[in-house]
């Protein structure tokens, strides 16, 4: 690799010097084409992972230092078109058009050239300085496909470099080509459509001269012809007659073809892509009979089987949950036991205030450590392995149809599964959803999933002192509730839901470097939310408790806790402490009553009701902070309020219903 990746030897200030880079290069392409692997090879270890301004779409950028030139590299979201149906598509389109990067590297999959060239054609219409990295050449060769990259470069009129990014092959010539591109900044040539479309594009172009837009004129004309809502809005403000004329011309195309104009232009793009792919691909048939099925095809016969495939899905999801319940919990208990021995040490400065602060900070720190190490880190690690192997895509496809019932698609299963370990990282993982509505809906449903902390409450109250069947009944009820609430929220929340469009990558052995980097990137962003929330929240509650301010809270909540829920009045305090961390519901209850045999202080009905309410109201203060960081405080508090009301209403109904036969 020619670039040093912005290491500290070349960049004393580290990755923060990205802002001082002389050039900006964007990586664009479909999902699962090796774009992230290319980004990692170019930028090395030091990278910035965050969000695009005002968006919940993840943003990754790094520094490439090559031949004395500092180049800022932006990894755009993996998308398939510029139709703006999703936030990822809008982010990519606006960055290329409005930020004017010095070069755009279109990473494409050599083994699915035609499908990837569909996006390349749209990139060329946006007219940035463009080059193509034909990645995964090795996988194409295994399938008997040979790509003539020189001919592809000649047809498209842009530089083309073959790579195998995961192994670092082709990265050196790629960096050379990037440097040449940012210096020359050539505009890619025009690829023409059929005559009836080109005539109408030319007509709209002739009308657009007095109109000012940040987009190329030909691009604007094509988007007006496709009736793109954003382009229609931009142009109509300046000259509505152009929009009316474009709509009329689009109607003429629809009359000729008998299909919507967007379908016609999409078909034209695929026709161009098909023609180019046919010219540059050579298929080498085996000499000894029919080609054998690849390992991917053989595995997919089971992984995507309409019946057997679900056994694989259940096995993987079950394995993740086994870690949560059977391995993570003992590890968490061991860490708790080890760290609590240090709680006895007094702070250097003693006094009522410092004692309260010390206890609160220590409790919050303990809560964060026992969450991150036994649950979050292993969960993210296993998830990254499954993702990098290619199997996570198959899980999403298998569950896609069922998820449509609640307005989501198959990828939503990822945050929902993660929620059983911890709701906080599950909320962040909702970024994989395409539309803002689906992100919000998935995060809302994730907070209803009983995480490990709520599992402790369910098992500690119901399984231990009623029976295991009532504990399982609570889980079954929760799943049913998620389906019902999800369906209602899908109808009530404004916005659009888009379908699942995913490439099916070949299976491969996960890269340890990619897995560790992905795990750390996800965990690092989570740490900045979890620890401050736990420590501050715990310290504040400790102070309130020491000052005797929680007793009035019990009196204030008594109409709800005693009259409606049928619980002892002091449960109000336990529910308040449960906002910091759900296990504190049980711990506070034990401290107040001086016993861990809860069957002596509450009836079976009360134990079930308390577990139900604890399971349904907002998971913890860290989850609230995570929701706020992703969706803003207004929506975070709306979700929090909704779940508190839902928990109270259903808890009261359960108390009355269970009282009839228990």
Residue set of the binding site for Mg(2+): 40, 43-44
Check if the beta carbon of residue 87 is closer than 8 Å to that of residue 107. Answer: no
Q: Please report, in range form, the residues annotated as the binding site.
A: 29-36, 40, 43-44, 54-58, 75-78, 135-138
Closest by Cα among 130, 127, 154, 118 to 272: 118
Distance CA 446, CA 430 (A): 9
Distance CA 623, CA 636 (A): 9
Check if the beta carbon of residue 276 is closer than 8 Å to that of residue 152. Answer: yes
Please identify which residue in the block is written with the tokens 């664009």.
Answer: 28
Check if the beta carbon of residue 108 is closer than 8 Å to that of residue 31. Answer: no
Could you tell me whether strands 69-75 and 58-66 are parallel, antiparallel, or unpaired per DSSP bridges?
antiparallel
Distances (CA, A) of 247 to 227, 230, 256: 7, 14, 14
Strands across the sheet containing 47-51: 47-51, 58-66, 69-75, 23-28, 103-109, 130-135, 160-162
DSSP annotation string for 618-646: ---HHHHHHHHHHH-HHHHHHHHHHHHHH
Distances (CA, A) of 274 to 116, 117, 134, 267: 10, 8, 16, 10
Residues making up the chain, counted from first to last: 662
Q: Please report, in range form, the residues annotated as the binding site for GTP.
A: 29-36, 54-58, 75-78, 135-138
Angle at 246 between CA 243 and CA 252, to 5 degrees: 145
How deeply is 192 buried, as exposed, middle or buried, from its count of CB atoms within 10 A (0-12, 13-18, 19+)? Answer: exposed
Angle at 50 between CA 621 and CA 448, to 5 degrees: 35
Helix (H, G, I), strand (E, B) or coil at 89: helix
Check if the beta carbon of residue 496 is closer than 8 Å to that of residue 85. Answer: yes
DSSP annotation string for 446-509: HTTS--HHHHHHHIIIIIHHT-HHHHHHHHHHHHHHHHHHHHHHHHHS-S---------PPP-P
């Amino acid at each position: 690799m020619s670039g040093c990746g912005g290491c500290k030897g070349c960049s004393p200030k580290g990755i923060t010097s990205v802002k001082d880079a002389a050039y900006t290069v964007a990586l664009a392409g479909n999902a699962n084409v090796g774009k992230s692997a290319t980004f990692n090879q170019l930028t090395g270890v030091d990278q910035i992972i965050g969000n695009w301004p005002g968006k919940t779409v993840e943003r990754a950028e790094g520094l490439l230092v090559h031949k004395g030139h500092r180049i800022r590299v932006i990894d755009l979201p993996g998308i398939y078109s510029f139709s703006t149906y999703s936030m990822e598509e809008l982010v990519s389109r606006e960055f290329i058009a409005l930020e004017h990067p010095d070069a755009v590297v279109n990473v494409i999959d050599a083994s699915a050239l035609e499908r990837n060239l569909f996006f390349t054609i749209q990139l060329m219409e946006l007219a940035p300085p463009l080059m193509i990295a034909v990645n995964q050449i090795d996988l194409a060769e295994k399938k008997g496909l040979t790509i003539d990259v020189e001919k592809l470069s000649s047809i498209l009129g842009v530089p083309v470099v073959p790579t195998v990014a995961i192994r670092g092959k082709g990265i050196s010539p790629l960096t050379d080509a990037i440097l040449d591109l940012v210096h020359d900044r050539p505009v890619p040539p025009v690829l023409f459509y059929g005559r009836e479309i080109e005539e109408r594009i030319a007509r709209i172009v002739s009308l657009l001269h007095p109109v000012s837009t940040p987009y190329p004129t030909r691009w604007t004309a094509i988007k007006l012809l496709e009736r793109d809502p954003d382009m229609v809005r931009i142009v109509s403000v300046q000259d509505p007659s152009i929009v009316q004329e474009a709509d009329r011309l689009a109607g003429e195309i629809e009359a000729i073809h008998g299909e919507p104009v967007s379908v016609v232009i999409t078909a034209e793009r695929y026709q161009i892509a098909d023609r180019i792919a046919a010219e540059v691909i050579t298929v080498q048939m085996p000499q000894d009979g029919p080609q054998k099925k690849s390992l991917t095809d053989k595995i997919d016969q089971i992984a995507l089987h309409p019946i057997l495939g679900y056994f694989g899905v259940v096995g993987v999801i079950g394995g993740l949950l086994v870690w949560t319940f059977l391995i993570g919990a003992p590890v968490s208990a061991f860490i708790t036991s080890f760290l609590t021995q240090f709680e006895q040490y007094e702070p250097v400065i003693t006094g009522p205030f410092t004692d309260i602060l010390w206890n609160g900070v220590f409790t919050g720190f303990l809560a964060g450590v026992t969450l991150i190490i036994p649950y979050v880190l292993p969960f993210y690690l296993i998830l990254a392995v499954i993702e990098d192997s290619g199997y996570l895509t198959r899980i999403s496809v298998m569950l896609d149809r069922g998820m449509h019932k609640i307005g989501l698609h198959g990828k939503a299963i990822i945050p929902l599964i993660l929620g059983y370990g911890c709701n906080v990282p599950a909320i962040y993982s909702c970024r994989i959803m395409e539309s803002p509505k689906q992100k919000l809906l998935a995060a809302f449903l994730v907070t209803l999933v009983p995480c490990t902390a709520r599992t402790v409450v369910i098992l500690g109250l119901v399984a231990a002192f009623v029976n295991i069947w009532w504990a399982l009944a609570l889980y079954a009820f929760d799943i049913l509730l998620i389906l019902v609430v999800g369906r209602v929220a899908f109808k009530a929340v404004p916005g659009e839901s888009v379908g699942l469009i995913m490439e099916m990558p070949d299976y491969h052995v996960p890269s340890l470097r990619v897995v560790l980097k992905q795990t750390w990137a996800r965990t690092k962003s989570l740490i900045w939310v979890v620890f401050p929330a736990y420590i501050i929240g715990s310290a504040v509650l400790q102070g309130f408790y020491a000052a005797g301010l929680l007793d009035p809270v019990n009196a204030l909540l008594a109409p709800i806790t005693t009259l409606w829920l049928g619980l002892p009045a002091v449960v109000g305090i336990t529910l308040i402490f449960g906002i910091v961390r759900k296990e504190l519901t049980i711990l506070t209850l034990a401290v107040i009553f001086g016993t861990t045999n809860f069957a002596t202080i509450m009836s079976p009905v009360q134990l079930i009701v308390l577990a139900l309410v604890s399971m349904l109201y907002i998971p913890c203060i860290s989850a609230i902070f995570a929701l706020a960081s992703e969706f803003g405080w207004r929506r975070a508090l709306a979700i929090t309020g909704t779940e508190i009301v839902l928990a109270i209403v259903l808890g009261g109904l359960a108390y009355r219903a269970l009282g009839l036969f228990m």
